Every structure is written in structure tokens, then in C-alpha cells.
Amino acid sequence: MSDAPILALDNVSKIFGRADNPLYAARDVSFALHSGRTLALVGESGSGKTTAARLIMREYFPDKGQLLFRGAPMGKADSKALKAYRSSVQMVFQDPFASLNPAHTIHYHLDRPLRLHQRGLSRAQRRAAVEELLQRVKLDPGQLMAKFPHELSGGQRQRISIARALAVNPQVIVADEPTSMLDVSVRLGILNLLNDMKRQLGLALLYITHDIATARYVAEDIMVMYAGQIVEWGDMEAVLGNPQHPYTRLLLSAVPDPDRRFSEAGAELDQIETIRRQSALPQPDIRQVADNHFIRPMP
């Protein structure tokens, strides 16, 4: 487990709209992904976390700043560099019902990535590899290989998505709300699977969610995002135990907590509008609160 990050965003901004009225979907975003560690990116809708995911998956390109892959910046690159990137960075999607093609069997879904990224394998070897992948995500190959996605449950489909991402032997997995569309009792299995894969394979995981409680369960580090900026970040227990930015405090007090009835609201809930407005303004300064805990103070 080396210290150098496999993937990093360095002061990246993504701007939409016209020059006189720019909309910053991401503003000066910087973070790094290390092997064997999970980084949680937490925020509400419109906060910019989807933009960050798209920047990493090369669907968007940075307008300012750069994406660093193994230390080297990725330009709008040549196809060879892009192919290496695609072998190293994979994504698990939110919607288990839309992430698999209804017209193809499970075997097809796992066979394709093997064919594209491990050309040397024979047919028999590929089949064995598909079986091994299914077993790794705790599914029975005999039962499922010939089935179609609509015959599987949501949890099973999500496991297939993870298996597909693992088929290319990636180093980074971006999980975009992988459990938000699953039943409560199924979520834990998926989260445990991601944790196990991370430990066994030394993956770097970027876990994007709006559900902070699950973020705490899987990630060591956390970033809180609002209006395109990362307003607070650092070690999970440090940030959750001692939130400094008013937006983080607002978010944490709004998360349903069965121990606190509605009447015992935190102070932030009375100033929602103000906090939102202030947090949307550009906050260029960075202040260090503790060893691994930073915030961008509100102006």
C-alpha cells in the first residue's frame, strides 16, 4: 500500500454557461485516491458530486486544473493512454435496473470486459474467469450465468455490476450511490462486499453518496460538498465528531437520528437559508483544523 495516490484531481473546475454568467458545477476541487482506502464524497443533489464522478470517468474534461493518473496529468489523451485508464478505473452505478442490458445474459455481461481487456484468454479460460468473478461476489455461477437481468433481484444485479467492474482488474472503483436504490436489508451485503474487495485487492474506492451514515460505515476519509465546492474534508471520525463548517453541521443535524425527537433541533436548522446562501459563495481559503481535518471557512 504505497502512499502515492493512484488518481487525483488537482484544483479542478468545471464551468457551464456563458462567460458573463458562469455556473461552477465544480470549483477548485482537489482530492486524492490511495490504494486500500475509501474516500466518501457526500453532498445533496446539485452539490457537484455527480460532476466529480463524471470528471473521473472522463465523461467531462476539466476547464481548469488537471486530472492526475499515477502522478501524470491526463490530457484529452491518446487512445493508448485512454485504454490504460479504462483498465484501471471502473464505475458501479446507482440504478441496478438500468446498469445491465436487459437483452443479454449475465455471462455476456462478464465476458465482454474479459474479451476487451484480457485478449490472451481462450474461451474456456474466459468461462472459468467468469465463474470465478461470480463466486467472488458471492453468487452461484451455475444458477445465474444463463439468466437475464430481469430475473435477478436488485441486490444480485448490483453484485453483477461490481463483478463487471472487477473483471478488468482495476485499481480504482468509483461507486455512485451503489445502495440507494436497494432495500435496507440488502444494502449491508453490498457495502460489506465493497469493503472486502477493497481490503483483498488493495483497491482505491471513491464512494459517492447523500447518506452519511453509510459513508461512515465504509470510508476512512470524507469530503463534504456543496454548490461545487468541497467545504470540509478529512478523517471520518474527526469530521463527524467535530464538524466546523456550518454547512456540515446543518447536514449532520438534518440526518434522521432516532435518538433525537424533532423538538430538540440543533441551532443550524433555524438558519437554513443563511447557511445555504453563504456556503454557495466562493470560499478560496483553506484552514487546517487538525492533523487530517480541513475546512474552507465561510466568508
Decide whether 28 or 182 has the Cβ nearer to another protein.
182
User: Shortest approach of another protein to residue 165 CB, angstroms?
Assistant: 9
Phi, psi of 61 (to 5 degrees): -115, 145
Helices within the chain (DSSP H only) = 49-56, 79-88, 106-117, 123-136, 141-144, 154-166, 184-201, 212-218, 236-241, 246-254, 272-280
Treating both helix axes as pointing N-terminal to C-terminal, what angle do 106-117 and 154-166 enclose, rounded to 10 degrees?
Answer: 10
Decide whether 37 or 210 has the Cβ nearer to another protein.
210
Decide whether 217 or 294 has the Cβ nearer to another protein.
217
User: Shortest approach of another protein to residue 87 CB, angstroms?
Assistant: 8
CB-CB contact of 228 with 220 (8 Å): no
- 70, 74, 77, 81: CA torsion to nearest 10: 10
CB-CB contact of 110 with 150 (8 Å): no
User: Shortest approach of another protein to residue 10 CB, angstroms?
Assistant: 22
User: Shortest approach of another protein to residue 228 CB, angstroms?
Assistant: 16
User: Shortest approach of another protein to residue 220 CB, angstroms?
Assistant: 13
Decide whether 2 or 262 has the Cβ nearer to another protein.
262
User: Shortest approach of another protein to residue 104 CB, angstroms?
Assistant: 7
Handedness of CA 122, 123, 128, 134 (dihedral sign): positive
Task: Quote helix, strand, coil % in the chain, to nearest 5.
Answer: 40, 25, 35
CA distances from 32 to 1, 35, 109 (A): 14, 10, 30
Residues found near another protein in the complex (CB under 8 A): 44-45, 57, 59, 83, 86-87, 90-91, 93-95, 98-104, 112-113, 116-117, 161, 164, 168, 183-185, 187-189, 191-192, 210, 212-214, 216-217, 240, 250-252, 254-262, 265, 269, 272
Phi, psi of 103 (to 5 degrees): -90, -5
Decide whether 70 or 216 has the Cβ nearer to another protein.
216
Decide whether 237 or 288 has the Cβ nearer to another protein.
237
